[in-house]
């Protein structure tokens, strides 16, 4: 499945509006550790390798520009898919093979996510913490089964946001916000390579 998602900076009243009439689904907390090589070989190609509560996942972009209205990523969770995408040899311990290939943690953050359903839309409200870093953001998401349906999904997300009176200004995801505040050198690399649009 392809996740089509758009992030929003939400005021308390925005959260109340979005949640009103939606169905509460779940609340969970998880810890993400993001990995890259010392020369940022993955993130400068907008590829995001993380371990979420100990399970590796790889996000690979399906879009082609930092001028994004919504984010589209393929998400790989199977070990053999991740090994193939990272060109890792076959092996028995993915974590040590990732380390041996030169990928090391650059951001560890804990998210408390409240999830709501609104028809076919999923709404996430995330509270993110990492040491002295904290950040809140919302996300509206649709799942589609083929690339040809992505644009329609983006239009539907933007239509819902417009009905709710949400601002569709660009929003930094949690990791980008973390890098901007905590690791400006890495952040600058992402801007220079066109992965992130500075604002």
Q: What are the residues binding ligand V4E (CB under 6 A)?
A: 46, 48, 59, 73, 111, 139, 172-176, 195-196
Helix 174-182 vs helix 184-192: crossing angle, to nearest 10? 120
List C-alpha distances in Å: 35 to 41, 98, 117, 152, 190.
10, 9, 31, 32, 15
Q: What's the closest the beta carbon of residue 89 comes to ligand V4E, in angstroms?
A: 25
Distance in angstroms (rounded) separating the CA atoms of residues 196 and 49: 17
List C-alpha distances in Å: 3 to 24, 29, 111.
20, 20, 19
Nearer to ligand V4E, 91 or 168 (CB): 168
Q: What's the closest the beta carbon of residue 51 comes to ligand V4E, in angstroms?
A: 12
Burial of 193 per CB tally in 10 Å (0-12, 13-18, 19+):
middle
Classify strands 104-118 and 71-76 as parallel, antiparallel or unpaired: unpaired
Q: What's the closest the beta carbon of residue 73 comes to ligand V4E, in angstroms?
A: 6
Chain position carrying tokens 């359903």: 117
Q: What's the closest the beta carbon of residue 98 comes to ligand V4E, in angstroms?
A: 16
Nearer to ligand V4E, 51 or 111 (CB): 111
Residue nearest to ligand V4E (CB): 173
Nearer to ligand V4E, 64 or 147 (CB): 64
HSE, CB side, 13 Å, CA atoms: give it for residue 180.
Answer: 14
Q: What's the closest the beta carbon of residue 33 comes to ligand V4E, in angstroms?
A: 12
Nearer to ligand V4E, 42 or 160 (CB): 42
Nearer to ligand V4E, 69 or 91 (CB): 69
């Amino acid at each position: 499945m392809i996740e089509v998602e758009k992030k929003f900076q939400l005021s308390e009243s925005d959260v109340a509006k979005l949640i009103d009439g939606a169905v509460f689904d779940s609340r969970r907390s998880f810890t993400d550790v993001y990995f890259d090589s010392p020369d940022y070989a993955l993130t400068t190609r907008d590829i995001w390798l993380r371990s979420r509560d100990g399970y590796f996942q790889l996000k690979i972009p399906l879009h082609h520009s930092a001028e994004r209205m919504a984010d589209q990523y393929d998400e790989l969770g199977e070990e053999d898919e991740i090994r193939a995408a990272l060109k890792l040899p076959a092996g028995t311990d993915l974590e040590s093979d990732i380390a041996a290939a030169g990928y090391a943690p650059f951001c560890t953050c804990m998210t408390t996510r409240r999830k709501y359903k609104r028809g076919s839309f999923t709404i996430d409200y995330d509270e993110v913490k990492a040491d002295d870093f904290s950040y809140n953001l919302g996300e509206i998401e649709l799942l589609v089964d083929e690339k040809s349906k992505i644009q329609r999904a983006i239009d539907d997300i933007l239509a819902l946001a417009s009905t709710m009176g949400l601002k569709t200004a660009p929003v930094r995801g949690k990791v980008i916000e973390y890098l901007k505040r905590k690791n400006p050198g890495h952040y600058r690399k992402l801007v220079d390579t066109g992965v992130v649009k500075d604002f």
